[in-house]
Amino acid sequence: MIAAIAIFSLLFAFTSNRNNSRKIKASVIVFEGDSSLFITKEEVNKLLIQNQTSVTDVTKDALDLNNMESLLLRNKMIKDAEVYMTIDGELKVNVTQRKPLARVVGTRSFYIDDEGEEMPLSGNYTARVPLINGQVTNENKQEIFKVLKKITSDNFLKVSVIGISVQKNDFTLRMRANNFKVKLGSADGLDLKFKKLKAFYQKAVKDKSLDTYSWVNLKFSNQVVCTKK
């Protein structure tokens, strides 16, 4: 029995060492969720390669999977990454990209992502999201994010709002289909304000009067104040 155990241990050690010394067959990169590529597979491969010409030139025991994940997560386009080996010797890389909600334009341009953080622009893809101009600062970033979350979570607003102008904590919306602007005011009471906007739209569509207005003001608590052209 002792001899059998010894032989088994030697065989296991030999097999394990031989398996670890094998080179990687291939790397498979999968982008989770949105198919819009702010970072390409080639760029992900470059992050993985580092000093090697290819990950397939590396043996299994030379791979540091945790380090690979850390390198990917340092890229500002990547929200999450998982790197692991499959049984058949492939290196599997699952990448989740960050998701932009709006694009700030001005002297410094960047996206605001779905966690309210700055996200750099990509040379590979431009997201079709509302444009934000005006005073975007660290002080009002949370208020801007609050407005963006409300807009992107509502089907009507997500399709209709194409731009946001910011002056401190005062917001003005630009609409897609009609040539008027919406004075939103502060980020307080957004549910009621957008409820009033939808009610106004329904009535104006019925009256065929949407194109007769230049401003729609939602700042007042119990009414919608409109300015005609």
3-class SS at 57? helix
Least Cα distance to 36 among 109, 115, 116, 100 occurs for 100
CA distances for 194 relative to 54, 147, 191, angstroms: 53, 11, 5
pLDDT of 41 higher than 70: yes
What phi and psi, each to the nearest 5 degrees, are found at residue 81?
-150, 140
The architecture of the domain spanning 20-97 is Roll (3.10)
What are the residue ranges of CATH 3.10.20.310 in the chain?
20-97
Instruction: Tell me what the mean pLDDT of segment 66-92 comes to.
Output: 88
Can you give the three-state secondary structure of 80-145, one letter per residue?
A: EEEEEECCCCEEEEEEEECCEEEEECCCCCEEEECCCCEECCCCCCCCCCCEEEECCCCCCHHHHH
Q: How confident is the model at residue 90 (pLDDT cuts 50, 70, 90)?
A: confident
What are the residue ranges of CATH 3.40.50.11690 in the chain?
100-228
Q: What is the pTM of this model?
A: 0.81
Which CATH number, 3.40.50.11690, 3.40.350.10, 2.60.260.20, 3.90.1150.10, labels domain 100-228?
A: 3.40.50.11690
E strand or H helix at 58, and its extent? none
- Is residue 147 within 8 A of residue 164, CB to CB? The reply is yes
Per-residue pLDDT tens over the stretch 148-178: 999 999 999 999 999 999 998 899 999 987 7
Residue 215 identity: W
- Bridge-based pairing of strands 225-228 and 78-85 is unpaired
